[in-house]
Amino acid sequence: MDSALSDPHNGSAEAGGPTNSTTRPPSTPEGIALAYGSLLLMALLPIFFGALRSVRCARGKNASDMPETITSRDAARFPIIASCTLLGLYLFFKIFSQEYINLLLSMYFFVLGILALSHTISPFMNKFFPASFPNRQYQLLFTQGSGENKEEIINYEFDTKDLVCLGLSSIVGVWYLLRKHWIANNLFGLAFSLNGVELLHLNNVSTGCILLGGLFIYDVFWVFGTNVMVTVAKSFEAPIKLVFPQDLLEKGLEANNFAMLGLGDVVIPGIFIALLLRFDISLKKNTHTYFYTSFAAYIFGLGLTIFIMHIFKHAQPALLYLVPACIGFPVLVALAKGEVTEMFSYESSAEILPHTPRLTHFPTVSGSPASLADSMQQKLAGPRRRRPQNPSAM
């Protein structure tokens, strides 16, 4: 999970743009402010809309449309698996040619990015299709064996609208594959983040605390204790981070002096914030107190991360600031309202997700698009039945 917030205006080259050995001129204060503000906004969008979509996803009646739930056991093992994966990637980049590794990764994320972006824009695009649009239904079915031993491998139903969304997403995919442009990178990164917040669910607040606490230690160790995470983030040419150029005002869309934010810093707090939104709904008080509190806490934590990074001119483990804020603020509100017991006894899987499958596998890169898209890819490729389209639901 690449989760360091990095500031490249000290002259180092960053992933997401051309790499060279020349020292870049220092960014202007306006450019730095624009880059930081844009990163903050891009981090908030998938959390907010992903949390709203997680409620609709959780209320789905078809078992095949259910999200995957992370249990306390999964959460406890997550940082260990993530550390092994991160170290493995670091060794790969040290031993093998970075060019060939990134070529394979580009093809991998090209496919996953198209699927993620198509799934993300589908509810928005449905609003623009006229009622007279010829929407035909299709089914992609692969089976294994015959007779009583026949087993479905893929049973995916889709329609013409889905094909249009897939076509538009493919244009972005080709753009990313050919140019590695930072805008295409961010479109894929935002899609991965939103799908992660929507489709990965924590079963209760205790599990969320275990997950965030473990990744808090993971993040601090790999950023401050070693150069592994920053090295992987700079070498990894894939949409596993949100980037924004600090020299946009000087060079326009061809700018290449990037500040970046790992997707882990968006998705990991995001799934906890989404859990608190579902807890708010379970209270049936027509208020979203805990959701808005945790959302404000995220803004505070990420803003503090940016401030510290700008002062010390060093990449920061954003979860160092986000985890205490996102857990501490809602717990303080619960203490003030006398609802701590209700908060920690709330079971998402029991309240809204009676048949939610448990997360039984660990993805390739914890907190990165590989992890989030693997879960999403199985959901998109697995058997499912289409629900009635609701263009206005978000």
Is 265 part of the annotated catalytic residue set? yes
Report the 3 state secondary structure along 146-159.
CHHHCEEEEEEEEE
Distance CA 160, CA 132 (A): 13
Is 219 part of the annotated catalytic residue set? yes
Distance CA 322, CA 319 (A): 5
Distance CA 353, CA 99 (A): 44
Distinct helix (H) and strand (E) counts, the chain: 14, 8
DSSP 258: E
User: Would you tell me how many other CB atoms lie within 10 Å of the CB of residue 390?
Assistant: 10
Residue in this structure with the two tokens 């509100």, named with its chain if needed:
333
Sign of the torsion formed by the C-alpha atoms of 293, 295, 296 and 298: positive
Strands 258-262 and 241-245: antiparallel
User: Would you tell me how many other CB atoms lie within 10 Å of the CB of residue 138?
Assistant: 11
How big is the CA angle at 46 (ends 170 and 183), to the nearest 5 degrees? 45
Q: Tokens for 173?
A: 């995919």
Q: Tokens for 198?
A: 């929507």
For the chain, state the CA radius of gyration. 21
Burial 283-310 (b: 16+ CB within 10 A, else e): eeeeebbbbbbbbebbeebbebbbeebb
User: Would you tell me how many other CB atoms lie within 10 Å of the CB of residue 205?
Assistant: 25
Could you give the 3-state DSSP secondary structure of residue 186?
A: helix
Question: Which of 41, 88, 87 lies closest to 242 in space, CA to CA?
Answer: 41
288 strand-pairing partners: none
User: Which is the catalytic residue, given 2, 7, 74, 219?
Assistant: 219
What's the burial of 72, exposed, middle or buried (CB within 10 Å: 0-12/13-18/19+)? middle
User: Which is the catalytic residue, given 7, 162, 265, 280?
Assistant: 265
Catalogue the active-site residues. Answer: 219, 265
